[in-house]
Amino acid sequence: MNETTEGAESGRGRMSKQLGRASQSRAGMWFWEVDRVLMVLAFLLITIGLVAVAAASPATARRYSDATHIMPPMYYFWRQLVWVCVSVPVLIAVSMLPVTLARRLSLIGAGICILMLMLVPFIGAEVNGARRWINLGVSDLQPSEFLKPLFIVSTAWILSFRAKDPQLPVMVITGGLVALIAVLLMLQPDFGQTIVFGVVWLILLTIAGISPMAIGVLGGTAIGGVVAAYLFYGTARTRIDHFLFPTKEAALAERYQVEMAHNTLTAGGLTGTGPGSGTVKFRLPEAHTDYIFSVIGEEFGLIACAVIAILYLAIVIRVFMKLLDEEDAFRLLAAAGLAAQFGVQALINMAVNTGIAPSKGMTLPFISYGGSSMVALSIGFGLLLAFTRRNPYLKRSPYTGRWSTP
């Protein structure tokens, strides 16, 4: 046996010891505890996202080029590749955090993000009539994207105290937090993100065991809030009017994006026109972000779109199945809330692309282009993996609820 072979076998042996079942190292324990199916599904979506951004990049580059500055066709693809290289290590690092540390960092991060949301109306950069981003020089940061997963973990922590004392006013406390965030988002304006925060909060309340009557009252209040937004909030009224009651002028203006998204989505039929062969996408605004699902439909077909929808559904179902026997209230609420946010955001984006819902400026998780979105989603998914980690070689005692060797 030569030295090269011996060195290779020695390396494999060290790797086996580091990741083996008996390993006590952090990497070894993480490897056996993390849900590798969820991780594979996330990486599959990220890979699909790179392919989709590569397909959408030429159309977006042409749209934003002018006589003085012509963008390379693959400009957005290469930038997205950089963000993926940043985000994947973030996802893995966050997934390795102990539950207690993940919770503490989320609480601190939520406070910082809320402060940044308060600053956005004053120092934020305006893009397409909305002020949602803070310019950091290298890139724009959208605080609401980072706040979503941190808000969910913080809300789950507050609601988990109800398991110890049902009399605690957790619904009032979390409701006040949601109301504050909603006001800050509406000032940007960002009606779509407001809906996500509200829906996820209601889901968390339901899982926490809040009475059906209280949930019904909150549901009625939410409907009343939408009516109030229609009456007193110009952005919401404009979008709802142009979606439900389209006129000829509206069809040429506000409804243009929705109609072009539908046309692009269906242009490729079931199997698509092929990578790089799409033509309708060149008339689609924001092809690389909000409407990337339509670009996938044109070039890879409606079957590919259905597969992507199934992947999102598989992630949500996988998480909820794992939580069926979870007895820790905080882990249950945090993981369920993060999975719900992931699914709700994907559902809203796909609904907009298919013309079921009005345009909301919502990205498709792990697929749409965007630095803030990609890093924030990686943090959220990393937290999800951290809260669902389990040692597969331990068994839960039916008497104590503790995990031990069978």
Buried/exposed code over 377-392 (b: 16+ C-beta within 10 A; e: otherwise): bbbbbbbbbbbbbeee
Q: Are strands 125-127 and 403-404 parallel, antiparallel or unpaired?
A: unpaired
Specify the DSSP class assigned to residue 368. S
Q: Which residue has the higher pLDDT, 30 or 201?
A: 201
Reported as a single tens digit per residue, the pLDDT across 30-60 is 878 889 999 999 999 999 999 999 999 998 8
Reported as a single tens digit per residue, the pLDDT across 18-37 is 555 555 567 777 878 889 99
Average pLDDT score over residue span 373-379? 94
The mean pLDDT of the chain is: 83
Which residues neighbour 126 within 8 Å (Cβ) at sequence distance 6 or greater? none
> pTM here?
0.84
Does the CA dihedral 312-314-318-324 come out positive or negative? positive
Domain ranges of the chain: 33-64+71-391
Average pLDDT score over residue span 342-363? 86
- Report the pLDDT value the prediction gives residue 398, as an integer from 0 to 100: 47
Find out whether 76 and 57 touch, Cβ atoms under 8 Å. Answer: yes
Specify the DSSP class assigned to residue 97. S
Average pLDDT score over residue span 178-202? 87
Q: Which residue has the higher pLDDT, 287 or 88?
A: 88
Specify the DSSP class assigned to residue 16. H
Maximum mean pLDDT: which of 110-119, 187-196, 219-228, 258-267: 110-119
Reported as a single tens digit per residue, the pLDDT across 121-140 is 888 777 766 778 787 766 77
pLDDT interval class at 89 (50, 70, 90): very high
pLDDT interval class at 227 (50, 70, 90): confident
Tell me how crowded residue 297 is: count the other CB atoms within 10 A of its CB: 33
Lowest-confidence pick of 79-88, 166-175, 342-351: 166-175
In the predicted model, is pLDDT for residue 87 greater than 70?
A: yes
- Report the pLDDT value the prediction gives residue 405, as an integer from 0 to 100: 44
Find out whether 297 and 268 touch, Cβ atoms under 8 Å. Answer: yes
**Is residue 96 helix, strand or coil?**
coil
Q: Give 39: exposed, middle or buried? Use CB within 10 Å, 0-12, 13-18, 19+.
A: middle
- Report the pLDDT value the prediction gives residue 371, as an integer from 0 to 100: 85
Reported as a single tens digit per residue, the pLDDT across 229-276 is 666 666 666 666 666 666 555 445 556 777 888 889 988 889 989 888
pLDDT interval class at 406 (50, 70, 90): very low
**Is residue 22 helix, strand or coil?**
coil
- Report the pLDDT value the prediction gives residue 147, as an integer from 0 to 100: 94
Residues β-bridged to residue 404: 395
